[in-house]
Structure 1
């Protein structure tokens, strides 16, 4: 009987995990630990900054959280393709007309995000956070489903899979 209870609890835990998963589909590859270390000059007042990571120098927000580009978006488009559950898993990076930058060389702008609020863009790509990244330095969204990528300071997606998976 105890084995059945343990098995039921394990199954319920797995079901709960599946329901709250951070990736839009079940085809997610395992994420690797990142060695991303945000610049010490990054602050919450800076909209975009850079950080050194095992992937290379990447763009982060002012608190050191990685930002991502979505291949299903149209570069230099005026809207996001990430809606519904996608937007819940990949929240938009909020934008402003004059964001503070530190080390970012690509062109920064805004679009109207799916929530009607300004969303930052870099080199024409709408920017997103990944809900699976809980702390500065996390890059668990890198390469997910082969369509989510961190960016270089110039705003180019880093599409090589350096996670080892």
Structure 2
């Protein structure tokens, strides 16, 4: 009788493990597939090397931080008007020292501790932002998102969605508009 229970429990455990494994496999396949109607591919801009380069392999150049996004949205933010936000609703910025054509980033080292480069891994969805203006620039082996050629950043001083505390910082950092321009409000 004891042996029979052990066999039955073992069989039930094996069946459970197989079912859970099958569920995990189908979930993995479902989440890895993307529908072209929901995801817009990022148009690749002419990639160029940065004006100032940091050691390869550093997080965002010199130990800085990175912001990864999969969506850009146009949102009205108090004080700056209609600007671009990431998938968390955080305001995105452009830096006047960077270049738009060809795209070049200049914020490196300690700069990236305050201004996090917005990185992309694959496709980016948009809402209210013209897809044809999206591009990328290579940065330390990663891909930084650009809009209208301008590399995009998040400001560490914005701690909640809808803030624009970095607006006009140092007279060079501006919230980016859906057309890639800078908000001058």
**TM-score for both structures, normalised by structure 2:** 0.58
Corresponding residue of 1:109: 135
More helix, by proportion: 2
Q: What SS is found at the alignment partner of 1:92?
A: strand
Distance 1:74 1:45, change over 3 A: closer
Return closer, same or farther for 1:45/1:96 CA change in 2, 3 Å cut-off. Answer: closer
Which residue does the alignment assign to 1:50? Answer: 74
Aligned residue number for residue 133 of structure 1: 158
Which residue number corresponds to residue 87 of structure 1? 112
1:98 is displaced (CA, Å) by 2.6
* Structure with higher strand content: 2
Q: What's the CA shift for 1:97?
A: 4.7
Map residues 145-160 of structure 1 onto 2, 5 A cutoff. 145-160=170-185
1:142 aligns to what? 167
CA distance in 1, matches of 2:101, 2:111: 20
8 Å contact 1:96–1:120 — kept in the other structure? no
Aligned residues: 116
Q: Any unmatched runs of 5+ in structure 2?
A: 1-67
Name structure 1 gaps, 5 residues minimum.
1-43, 161-165
Change (3 A) 1:123 1:135: same
TM-score by length of 1: 0.65
Cα distance in 2 for partners of 1:53, 1:74 equals 25
Q: What is the alpha-carbon root mean square deviation over aligned residues?
A: 1.8
Cα deviation 1:26-57 (Å, max 9, x = unaligned): xxxxxxxxxxxxxxxxxx97520011123211
